[in-house]
Structure 1
Amino acid sequence: MYESYYGFTERPFQLTHNSNWFFASRLHKKALAYLQYGLTQGEGFIVITGDVGTGKTTLASQLLSMLNQDEIVARQIVTSKLQPDDLIRMIASSFNLKVEENNKASYLDAIYIFLKRLHSQHRRALLLVDEAQNLPLESIEELRMLSNFQIDGKPLLQSFLLGQNELNPIIQAPNMEQFRQRIIASSNLVPLIEVETKEYIQFRLHMAGLNHPLLEDDCFSLVQTFSRGIPRRINLLMDRVLLLGYLEQHKTISAEHVQSVINEISEEIAHQAPASPQNIKSESEAPAATSPSPAALGSASVQQLLDESLEQKLKLIKELDELILQRQQQAK
């Protein structure tokens, strides 16, 4: 909707990953270097953890875009609370393997035959396990057992685990010692600091085709405070800010504009917040209805409501864009 107004070639803060738009902060560079190092080793596990929205999946997608597919056959799976047998089936399915009997032994046999065939072709398999914090201990242990598929002492399958911070205590459990011994590198992604948030915003704007300053300098501290330096939240907020700029015809975005959007979102969050049971009173006791402030909400609730609210609005904007485009085409 606002792309032509600002002269963008595409929306600068869309949530879908574009490998050409990878912003390498200091920690993202480090994590990507660990992933690449793991590939050169051809064995062991690499573990990347971080809060929601800090870029773990983006890292995985970036790595996949850099691979030589003549040497490495890579697959990425997103896990739920899969039990070991279900995980084995998902891995077999991700490599498009077919089995004659629907049992664990048949799936393991199919995986082993496939890995041996790759080895004979001087290729190897790579498995990226996203949202790995959802896996129970037994399933993570199953991944370790798969790393025992070897020929001449060389592993046939290498796995990278990406997960939220909850993955760390799972791996540190006493009965995970054998798995920990096979981790050759690990990294934890944290939110961007303010200078990186500014660089991130300017980078995305430049990649979208903007060649002149759009945001005034005092905007960035507001974005940092509200987003807490989490890239996904920056994207959601900035997309909304650019929409406001387009609707109100601002060629330059000021701190006042950013604050206006933040206020709107905060009000939306407050109105969407569920009432706490202990605060519910009978009509005779209840004072005049007021909306709870964002500060009164738990941080998890605030983040969830923020993401859901903005994502719903971005979906609506996209639908409006498509409708406008259809009508323009019909007019021609």
Structure 2
Amino acid sequence: MYLEHFGLSELPFSLTPDPGYFFRYSEHQEALNVLLVALQGGEGFIKITGEVGTGKTLLCRTLLDALDDLYVTAYLPNPLLEPLDLYRAVATELGLAELQWADLHSLLNRIVEHLLRVADSGRRVVLCIDEAQSMSDSGLEAVRLLSNVETSKRKLLHIVLFGQPELDERLAGRGLRQLRQRLAFSYRLSPFDLDGTCGYVSHRLKTAGCQKPLFSRFALRKLHRSSRGIPRLINVLGHKALLATYGRGAEQVGRTQVVAAARDTEDVCSGGFLGLRRFF
């Protein structure tokens, strides 16, 4: 592909949520700080929301990597489960795989026993739930009941919900007011502004081994406008723009290549006239 042409060691705009590419821009770094402070303070429920593609999953993976041996972590990437299957998934993440055929009552009791043992060892358990907006009301209520597990001194389970803005709308309903009232900290991720987009592109290129600017300032402005500052769309457009530039044998991405990438991509503000086929 274009790696050797641009002097890159790996693809800079991969969609895989690699914590090594976490961009410590103001909002994302602040969100990570909020999570770390809240967990260190022993808070039971934390919520992070943001539009599609704003980096919630990468933030979650970065959080899990940042937690030291004082924490036992569990991660549910697909929580579209009813209470019994949800508890089974949590049990599996906690290493209690032998409980897969237990009933709801037995599962909950064994999970609580495990949480007590972990607490006695001086450690804390953190459960991160991604795509939480897709959970059923009964699933969210099951999570709330898990958060009730505590001693007279501390919570035994810390839960972080990552979701799209629809999660906020769900929690605003009367039926989930008990869960809403338990949220100790909330944070909402926003798309990047122009400076954030420029810094994000520079960070990813440097992390991938780039030693020189690959995008002109006009290309960066167009990239920001087309992507609306959404990291996932920046990645998609950045990759396609590099392909188009490579196809021309050029050394730097110009505005024309970003226009071509935008014309070839769904859900962006294209505003151009060329497609990628123009360059191959």
Same fold (TM over 0.5): yes
Q: 1:73-112, aligned counterparts within 5 Å?
A: 73-97=72-96, 98-99=98-99, 102-112=102-112
**Residue 173 (1) aligns with residue 173 (2):** yes
| CA-CA distance at 1:252 after TM superposition | 1.5
| CA-CA distance at 1:114 after TM superposition | 0.9
Equivalent AA in structure 2 for residue 215 of structure 1: F
Partner Cα distance (1:31, 1:55) in 2: 11
Question: Which residue number in structure 2 is paired with residue 146 of structure 1?
Answer: 146
**Residue 196 (1) aligns with residue 205 (2):** no
User: Contact (CA 8 Å) 1:34, 1:46: kept in 2 or not?
Assistant: no
| CA-CA distance at 1:101 after TM superposition | 5.1
Alignment TM-score, normalising by the size of structure 1: 0.77
| CA-CA distance at 1:80 after TM superposition | 4.1
User: Contact (CA 8 Å) 1:100, 1:106: kept in 2 or not?
Assistant: no
Equivalent AA in structure 1 for residue 131 of structure 2: E
User: Contact (CA 8 Å) 2:32, 2:59: kept in 1 or not?
Assistant: yes
Question: Which residue number in structure 2 is paired with residue 22 of structure 1?
Answer: 22
Unaligned runs of 5+ in 2: 269-275
> Do the aligned partners of residues 52 and 100 (structure 1) sit closer, same or farther apart at CA in structure 2, a change above 3 Å counting?
closer
Question: Which residue number in structure 2 is paired with residue 210 of structure 1?
Answer: 210
Q: Secondary structure at the match of 1:75?
A: strand
Render the CA deviation track for 1:1-20: whole Å, top value 9, x for unaligned: 11111111111111123322
Equivalent AA in structure 2 for residue 22 of structure 1: F
Partner Cα distance (2:92, 2:193) in 1: 40
Render the CA deviation track for 1:82-132: whole Å, top value 9, x for unaligned: 222221111112112122852101111110111111112111211000000
Render the CA deviation track for 1:40-90: whole Å, top value 9, x for unaligned: 121321100011110001001001111112x11001102343222221111
Question: Which residue number in structure 2 is paired with residue 155 of structure 1?
Answer: 155
Partner Cα distance (1:146, 1:106) in 2: 14
Partner Cα distance (1:9, 1:262) in 2: 25
Partner Cα distance (1:223, 1:175) in 2: 42
Partner Cα distance (1:142, 1:261) in 2: 44
CA RMSD of aligned residues (A): 1.7
Greater shift, 216-225 or 99-108, is seen at 99-108
Runs of 4+ in 1 over 4 A off after TM superposition: none
Alignment TM-score, normalising by the size of structure 2: 0.90
Question: Which residue number in structure 2 is paired with residue 225 of structure 1?
Answer: 225
Question: Which residue number in structure 1 is paired with residue 273 of structure 2?
Answer: none
| CA-CA distance at 1:221 after TM superposition | 1.7
Unaligned runs of 5+ in 1: 270-301, 304-312, 314-332
Question: Which residue number in structure 1 is paired with residue 272 of structure 2?
Answer: none
User: Contact (CA 8 Å) 2:2, 2:242: kept in 1 or not?
Assistant: yes
Partner Cα distance (2:152, 2:255) in 1: 62
Partner Cα distance (1:16, 1:68) in 2: 23
Kindly name which structure, 1 or 2, has the bigger radius of gyration based on alpha carbons: 1
Q: Secondary structure at the match of 2:158?
A: strand
User: Contact (CA 8 Å) 2:13, 2:235: kept in 1 or not?
Assistant: yes
Q: Secondary structure at the match of 1:155?
A: coil
Equivalent AA in structure 1 for residue 75 of structure 2: Q
Greater shift, 123-132 or 199-208, is seen at 199-208
Partner Cα distance (2:66, 2:142) in 1: 28
| CA-CA distance at 1:226 after TM superposition | 1.4
Equivalent AA in structure 2 for residue 4 of structure 1: E
Equivalent AA in structure 2 for residue 88 of structure 1: Y
Question: Which residue number in structure 1 is paired with residue 256 of structure 2?
Answer: 256
Q: Secondary structure at the match of 2:126?
A: strand
